Structure 1
Amino acid sequence: MSLCSIKAALLLVVFLVASLWSSAKSARQVAESNNDLGLKFSLFPKWKAVIVFNKLEDGSDFTIHCKSKDDDLGSHVISAGKFYTWNFHVNVWGTTLFFCSVTTKHGSGTYDLYKAENETDLNWSIEEDGVHGLDSLTHFKWTNQLLI
Structure 2
Amino acid sequence: MVKLLLLFLGINILQSFVSGCSVLTYKHEVHIIRDLPPGASPLKLHCASKTNDLGYHILSTNQDFHWNFCENIVPNTLFFCHFWWESKEIAFEVFNAKWTGQTKSKYYWVIKSDGIYYYDDFAQKSEIKRYDWKNLK
Q: Hey, what's the Cα distance between the residues in 1 that align with 2:27 and 2:77?
A: 12
Structure 2 stretches lacking a partner, 5+ long: 13-21
1:124 aligned residue (106, 109, 134): 109
Residue matched to 1:147 = 133
Q: Where do 5+ consecutive residues of structure 1 fail to align?
A: 1-14, 28-41
Q: Which aligned pairs between 1:3-82 and structure 2 lie closer than 5 A?
A: 20-21=6-7, 23-24=8-9, 44-60=24-40, 61-82=42-63
TM-score by length of 1: 0.67
Give 3-state SS (helix, strand or coil) of 2:50's partner: coil
Greater helix share, 1 or 2?
1
Find 1:102's aligned residue among 83, 87, 95.
83
RMSD: 2.8
Superposition TM-score, scaled by structure 2 size: 0.72
Aligned partner of 2:27: which letter? W
Looking at structure 1, the residues matched to 5 and 74 of structure 2 have their Cα atoms a distance apart, in angstroms, of: 27
Q: SS in structure 2 opposite 1:20?
A: helix
Rg (Cα) greater in structure: 1
- Calculate percent identity across the aligned residue pairs: 25
| C-alpha distance in structure 1 between counterparts of 2:3 and 2:39, whole Å | 58
1:92 is displaced (CA, Å) by: 1.4
How far residue 19 of structure 1 moved from its aligned partner, in angstroms, is 5.5
Offset of residue 135 of structure 1: 3.5
Instruction: After TM superposition, give the deviation of residue 47 of structure 1 in Å.
Output: 1.6
